Amino acid sequence: MSNLVVGISDQKVAGPPDTLTTYALGSCVCICLYDNLRRIGGLAHILLPKAFGDVSGRNVYKFADTAIEELVRGMIKQGSAHLHLTAKIAGGANMFISDEKSIGDRNVETVMQELQRLRIRIVAQDTGANYGRTAIFNTQDGSLTVKTLGRGNKVI
């Protein structure tokens, strides 16, 4: 079994028995897609909601609106079927006090819009609040373990 680490503005696709882990989810959001039939999982760690303008020469994994499409393409390339994909998301915290809508809120909102546009159902989420998270996605069963400091761990 391998534990594949997904960095900020990055993504990976894997199958059993591998796990996909991402750290430092503050306002960032991780999107975990899973094909339960073929047991293929993918994880993207996005930093910002939207890539405005031309993205050529830019890291498309940085933005929710471009990263999710790329993750779907990567999973299909590995044998997954779009029809079988479901999503779990984590992160999107409001790390700083502000009267405005936080970047975390905007990230979660855009992720949800993109998944809805692509007709991928969100089956679980752990988003918002004001604390960071680590996410560990198990490709064996599609479970997502969300770890936090001082708030315990949960499996969604």
- Give tens-digit pLDDT for 78-130: 999 999 999 999 999 998 766 578 899 999 999 999 999 999 999 999 999 99
Quote the pLDDT of residue 99: 59
150 contact partners, CB below 8 Å, separation of at least 6: 131
The percentage of the chain sitting over the pLDDT mark of 70, rounded to a whole number, equals 96
Quote the pLDDT of residue 96: 77
DSSP at 27: S
Quote the pLDDT of residue 55: 66
Note whether 21 and 135 are within 8 A (CB): yes
Instruction: State the sign of the Cα–Cα–Cα–Cα dihedral 53, 58, 60, 62.
Output: negative
User: Of 52-56, 75-79, 112-116, which gets the smallest average pLDDT?
Assistant: 52-56
> What architecture is the 3-155 domain classified under in CATH?
2-Layer Sandwich (3.30)
Catalytic residues: 28
Quote the pLDDT of residue 94: 92
Domain limits, the chain? 3-155
